[in-house]
Amino acid sequence: MTKKQFTGAQMVVKALAALDVKYIFGYPGGTVLDIYDALFQQTEVEHILVRHEQAATHMADGFARATGEVGVVLATSGPGATNCITGIATAYMDSIPMVVLSGQVPSTLIGDDAFQETDIVGCSRPIVKHSFNCRVVEEIPNIIAKAFYIASTGRPGPVVIELPKDLLMPTSMGEFHIETDVKMRSYNPSIKGHHKQIKKAVKAIYEAKKLVVYAGGGIIIANASELLTELVEKLDAPITNTLMGLGGISGTHKNYIGMLGMHGSVEANKTMANADLILALGARFDDRVTNNVKKFCPDAKIIHVDIDPTSISKTINAHIPVVGLLDVVLQQLLDELTATDFKPNKEERANWWQEVNQWREINRVSYVQEGDQIKPQRVIEAMYKITQGEAYVCSDVGQHQMFAAQYYPFAKPRQWINSGGLGTMGFGLPAAMGVKLAFPESHVICITGDGSIQMNIQELSTCLQYNLPVVIISLNNRSLGMVRQWQDMVYGGRHSSSYMESLPDFVKLAESYGHVGMQINHLDELEDKLNEAFTIKNRLVFVDVLVDEKEHVYPMQIRLGAIDDMWIKKGVKA
């Protein structure tokens, strides 16, 4: 008896269903019409039609960040595929599990500059974890299974699969086999930290007088927040998070000293600068953290735990490298500390905390609400109050992003969703949509600016189609604020192309897309109106908040300085 035969397109959809995919984000076109036809004839996988393929990638990305599952994208060959590039790069920089299925012209035409042919595997090569070309129809399901495995294990990342049209059409049929338990001889994401390195790390912890924990996005990815909190409490050490790591420990935890880096808190950067031992967990000593690497924390010994060996000793040399999954290594560290009956030295810790608390008291993440114009920071504080710190906050890129990072203490991991590595304007709205799709009952905020929101504004239409009532809060400063800030500080105040003339009427714009538009112009109406925005259920609300366009983000590291060389306000150094 011959087994049932399927087209490649049917196999794609069957494979996705076998991998428990519920949503796929995409946009149709010639080379993938067979997949769309297959999607039409089933109910397991729901397709979300965006208005631009870049948004599909960010939506899948937001979905992945909030749920920890793989985000799946479908795009046609040529322009559909190239429109995905920014979203793939965004996911790559932040280690987000994503699988992008791209159409391709029929195999016989590849290389002929056929209509809508681009070498998407070639184009995306530097920004993917891996990619696949399909050549035989029966291979499709296992390639998809492998792509999911690669995307979601080890250090996660995007995987691109190119599907030539002839393999998808009824002209080539085959049997369907899928091996969801993937094994690959060339890829074994290492799991456990080497026990000798664990011992060394614990020894260094015993010897340290001034220990700081520096935790990044790896904690979030590894779902290791609880272990991190336990470790921090056991060590009684101050802890700082990177921009990607916010929520890795509660923003209101007593040991938490704020975000570090370019716009980090003075206390976080000072604590790092004065530490004798830095326990780096799933963070990568990015240039937006270290400032000048030559001046970076001269007295500190560094323990660096990461799943990706290339992240270790890349920019800053690690004295004790530990390669492994963070949740596993944290458990190993805890076990070793428990086995040796670790107790922090009371006196040494007290001295260290006294120092840290001095910097803490400066409380330099602060602003003054003066004049009639609303300060952007005030909006974030109000937002925090109204949502009781429990909203998903999906950010675009600019000053508003930094204000949100500084003024919304995140209680839990995966609550803060932003493009940290690539800094992609236009990320916020589609990411928020992906989150809302996953968590329809939660408050999902897109915090954005008048510049960023216009980079994927067309998705307001998608929100209407799929009923995705996110709350968009735009800190409208009539300018590309972050660019303007640099121009004020570094370029003699010459505002070259950093202002936004001819802004649309955002209220009417939201309304024309079928949503609720709201403008906030006065300080005294801020809380009431924001409150109202959050009480409107089942409608998307676009809140256009006119804020002070002159406000700068402080603190800010002084360029080329040490990690703790900072401006705390205009002309004042820490």
Ligand X SMILES: Cc1ncc(C[n+]2csc(CCOP(=O)(O)OP(=O)(O)O)c2C)c(N)n1
Binding site for ligand X (CB under 6 A): 396-400, 423-426, 449-452, 475, 477, 479-483
The catalytically annotated residue of 129, 146, 165, 375 is 165
Query: How far is C-alpha 117 from the chain's CA centre?
Result: 31
Closest CB to ligand X among residues 8, 426 = 426
**Which partner, ligand X, Mg ion, other proteins, none, binds residue 187 by CB below 5 to 8 Å per kind?**
other proteins
CB of 492 to other proteins, least distance (A): 33
Taking each helix axis from N to C end, the angle separating 326-339 and 225-235, rounded to the nearest 10 degrees, works out to 30
> Which span (244-252, 345-353, 364-372, 475-483) binds Mg ion, by CB under 5 A?
475-483
CB of 80 to other proteins, least distance (A): 21
The catalytically annotated residue of 93, 425, 482, 518 is 482
Task: Name residues whose C-beta falls within 8 Å of residue 462's C-beta, 6 or more positions apart in sequence.
Answer: 48, 49, 50, 51, 55, 433, 468
Among 290, 454, 477, 557, binds Mg ion (CB under 5 A): 477
Closest CB to other proteins among residues 47, 129 = 129
Closest CB to other proteins among residues 103, 157 = 157
Closest CB to ligand X among residues 143, 429 = 429
Closest CB to other proteins among residues 122, 440 = 122
Among 41, 43, 310, 388, binds other proteins (CB under 8 A): 310
Query: How far is C-alpha 355 from the chain's CA centre?
Result: 33
The catalytically annotated residue of 22, 46, 116, 439 is 116
Please, are residues 429 and 57 in contact by the beta-carbon 8 Å criterion? no
**Which partner, other proteins, ligand X, Mg ion, none, binds residue 423 by CB below 5 to 8 Å per kind?**
ligand X
Closest CB to other proteins among residues 138, 565 = 138
Please state, in angstroms and rounded to a whole number, the distance separating the CA atoms of residues 534 and 471.
7
Please, are residues 394 and 379 in contact by the beta-carbon 8 Å criterion? no
CB of 423 to other proteins, least distance (A): 19
What residues does 239 pair with on adjacent strands? 213, 256
Span 125-184, contacts to other proteins by CB under 8 A: 125-126, 129-131, 133, 135, 150, 184
Among 37, 46, 109, 187, binds other proteins (CB under 8 A): 187
331 is catalytic: no
Q: Quote the Cα angle for 133-147-437, to 5°.
A: 120
CB of 375 to ligand X, least distance (A): 12
115 is catalytic: yes
Closest CB to ligand X among residues 47, 51 = 51
192 is catalytic: no
* 185 is an interface residue for other proteins by CB under 8 A: yes
* 544 is an interface residue for Mg ion by CB under 5 A: no
Task: Report the candidate in 28, 78, 57 with the shortest Cα–Cα distance to residue 151.
Answer: 57
Task: Report the candidate in 131, 382, 355 with the shortest Cα–Cα distance to residue 237.
Answer: 355
* 116 is an interface residue for other proteins by CB under 8 A: no
**Which partner, other proteins, ligand X, Mg ion, none, binds residue 425 by CB below 5 to 8 Å per kind?**
ligand X
Q: Quote the Cα angle for 485-409-328, to 5°.
A: 110
Which runs of consecutive H residues, i.e. helices, occur in 322-421?
326-339, 346-362, 376-386, 399-407
Coil, strand or helix at 60: helix
CB of 99 to other proteins, least distance (A): 14
> Which span (58-66, 160-168, 448-456, 506-514) binds Mg ion, by CB under 5 A?
448-456
53 is catalytic: yes
Q: Which tokens sit at 505?
A: 């009427």
Task: Report the candidate in 25, 55, 33 with the shortest Cα–Cα distance to residue 446.
Answer: 55
Q: Quote the Cα angle for 174-177-181, to 5°.
A: 155
The catalytically annotated residue of 6, 10, 14, 53 is 53
Which amino acid is located at 507 in the chain?
Answer: V
Please state, in angstroms and rounded to a whole number, the distance separating the CA atoms of residues 193 and 375.
47
Q: Which positions from 69 to 108 touch other proteins by CB under 8 A, shown as an x/- string? A: ----------------------------------------
Number of residues that bind other proteins (CB under 8 A): 19
What does DSSP assign to residue 502?
S
Taking each helix axis from N to C end, the angle separating 399-407 and 376-386, rounded to the nearest 10 degrees, works out to 50
Span 529-548, contacts to other proteins by CB under 8 A: none
* 247 is an interface residue for Mg ion by CB under 5 A: no
**Which partner, ligand X, Mg ion, other proteins, none, binds residue 562 by CB below 5 to 8 Å per kind?**
none
Please state, in angstroms and rounded to a whole number, the distance separating the CA atoms of residues 165 and 162.
10
Coil, strand or helix at 572: strand
> Of all helices (H) and strands (E), which one includes residue 271?
helix 266-274
The catalytically annotated residue of 5, 42, 44, 115 is 115
* Distances from the Cα of 486 to the Cα of 266, 287, 403, 481, 551, angstroms: 20, 17, 16, 9, 12
Print the SS3 string covering 107-140: HHHCCCCCCCCCCHHHHHHHHCCEEEECCCHHHH
Neighbouring C-beta atoms of residue 231, cutoff 10 Å: 23
CB of 191 to ligand X, least distance (A): 36
**Which partner, Mg ion, ligand X, other proteins, none, binds residue 258 by CB below 5 to 8 Å per kind?**
none
Which amino acid is located at 491 in the chain?
Answer: Y
Among 157, 258, 389, 449, binds Mg ion (CB under 5 A): 449
The pairing of beta strand 71-75 with beta strand 23-27: parallel
ω into residue 141 within 30 of 0, thus cis?
A: no
CB of 186 to other proteins, least distance (A): 5
Closest CB to ligand X among residues 87, 248 = 87
CB of 449 to ligand X, least distance (A): 3
482 is catalytic: yes
Residues engaged in binding Mg ion (CB under 5 A):
449-451, 477, 481
Catalytic residues: 53, 115-116, 165, 482
What does the binding site for other proteins look like in residue numbers (CB under 8 A)?
121-122, 125-126, 129-131, 133, 135, 150, 184-187, 308-310, 313-314
